């Protein structure tokens, strides 16, 4: 077999493969896009899953209902590093993953304000690093901007059954409910994951995950960095509340 044959063979093989993959991608892309949007909006709403209207369940809600429910109940404002609201809407179009990589002063991040029964809940997107790759999530604060009402986490490549528990284990997320972000003096302390278990009455700590210490450390860092960036915004909203 001469070199020309080899080159032609590989060229043909890769062309056929590339062409068929491109076609398959073209066909599946719209479905995948919609799945992704649905997934993100569901993740945002699942941070306030305990405060949905009576009879609403995210897990059984059809895709279109969920998307229109999101549009009705959630105002996605955009804020900058000084806590100013730059835009009143369109926050759901922001690619948090990209924006978070910018220097802290230049970021324009979304805040999702969810309204239910006349009460506002503030949902903040978070980005961080796990053991293998990126992790991200949403934390929802009550209208006092201190008490956590829910979290939802996700990850790119944490190990199933270990680091991936931050997303897969509902009991992990439940621990955050009722925890406080500020201490009694009003100082920001965030919430951290404790290896070997948190003290039951500690309002700023939850149990870590066995076998996933590095992912857990990543989550702790993500919470303090992420909420830390929003501090000016939190302060300005509190001031407006009086």
Partner 1 sequence: MADTAVKEVKEKKPLLGKKERKLLLDPLNDNNPITVQVLGICSALAVTSMVLPSVVISVAVVFVTAFSSLFVSLLRRKIPKQVRMIAQLVIIAFLVTVVELLLKAYNYPVYKQLSVYIGLIITNCIVMGRLEAFAMANKPWPAFLDGIGNGLGYGAILIGVSVIRELFGKGSLFAGTPIALNIIGPTSDYWINTTTNPWFSWYVNNNLMVLPVAAMFIIGVFIWVQRTFNQKLVDVS
Q: Tell whether residue 19 is a contact of partner 1 (CB under 8 A).
A: no
In the bound state with partner 1, the residue whose beta carbon lies nearer, of 50 and 133, is 133
**Is there binding between residue 36 and partner 1 (CB under 8 A)?**
yes
Rounded to the nearest whole angstrom, what is the least distance from the CB of residue 1 to partner 1 in the complex?
5
Residue 174, interface with partner 1 (CB under 8 A)?
Answer: no
Binding flag, residue 31, partner 1 (CB under 8 A): yes
Contact between 97 and partner 1 by CB under 8 A: the answer reads: no
| 3-state secondary structure string across the chain | CCHHHHHHHHHHHHHHHHHHHHHHHHHHHHHHHHHHHHHHHHHHHHCCHHHCCCCCCCCCCCHHHHHHHHHHHEEEEEEECCCCEEECCCHHHCCHHHHHHCCHHHCEEEEEEEEECCEEEEEEEEEEECCCCEEEEEEEECCCCCEEEEEEEEECCCCCCCCCHHHHCHHHHHCCCCCECECCCCCECCCEEECCCCCCCCCCEEECCCCCHHHHHHHHHHHHHHHHHCHHHHHHHHHHHC
What's the min distance (Å) between Cβ of 137 and partner 1? Answer: 13
CB of 116 to partner 1, least distance (A): 25
Tokens, residue 13 = 């093989």
By the rule CB under 8 A, 15 interacts with partner 1: no
Select from 12-20, 113-121, 185-193, 196-204 the region that touches partner 1 (CB under 8 A).
12-20
Q: Say whether residue 164 binds partner 1 (CB under 8 A).
A: yes
9 binds partner 1 (CB under 8 A): yes
Q: Residue 81 is encoded by which pair of tokens? A: 């590093």
Q: How many residues bind partner 1 (CB under 8 A)?
A: 33
Q: Does 21 sit near partner 1 (CB under 8 A)?
A: yes
Instruction: Tally the residues of the chain.
Output: 242
* Shortest Å distance, C-beta 233 to partner 1: 29
Of positions 11, 32, 65, 241, contacts partner 1 by CB under 8 A: 32
| Identity of the residue, 19 or 86, whose beta carbon is nearer to partner 1 in the bound complex | 19
Residues 34 and 66 sit within 8 Å (Cβ to Cβ) = no
Residue numbers at the binding site for partner 1 (CB under 8 A): 1, 5-6, 9-10, 13-14, 17, 20-21, 24-25, 28, 31-32, 35-36, 38-39, 132-133, 154-157, 159-162, 164, 168, 210-211
């Amino acid at each position: 077999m001469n070199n020309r044959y080899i080159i032609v063979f590989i060229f043909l093989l890769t062309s056929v493969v590339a062409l068929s993959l491109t076609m398959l991608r073209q066909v599946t892309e719209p479905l995948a896009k919609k799945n992704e949007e649905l997934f993100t909006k569901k993740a945002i709403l699942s941070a306030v899953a305990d405060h949905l209207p009576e009879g609403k369940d995210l897990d059984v809600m059809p895709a279109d209902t969920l998307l229109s429910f999101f549009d009705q109940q959630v105002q996605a404002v955009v804020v900058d590093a000084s806590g100013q609201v730059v835009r009143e809407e369109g926050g759901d179009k922001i690619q948090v993953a990209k924006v978070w990589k910018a220097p802290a002063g230049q970021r324009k991040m979304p805040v999702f304000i969810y309204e239910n029964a006349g009460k506002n809940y503030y949902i903040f997107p978070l980005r961080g690093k796990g053991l293998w790759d990126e992790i991200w999530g949403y934390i929802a604060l009550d209208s006092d901007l201190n008490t956590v009402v829910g979290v939802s986490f996700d990850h790119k490549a944490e190990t199933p059954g270990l680091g991936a528990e931050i997303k897969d284990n509902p009991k992990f997320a439940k621990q955050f409910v009722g925890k406080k972000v500020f201490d009694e003096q009003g100082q920001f302390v965030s919430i951290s994951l404790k290896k070997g278990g948190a003290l039951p009455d500690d309002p700023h700590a939850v149990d870590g995950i066995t076998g996933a210490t590095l992912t857990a450390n990543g989550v702790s860092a993500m919470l303090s960095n992420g909420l830390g960036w929003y501090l000016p915004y939190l302060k300005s909203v509190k001031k407006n509340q009086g």
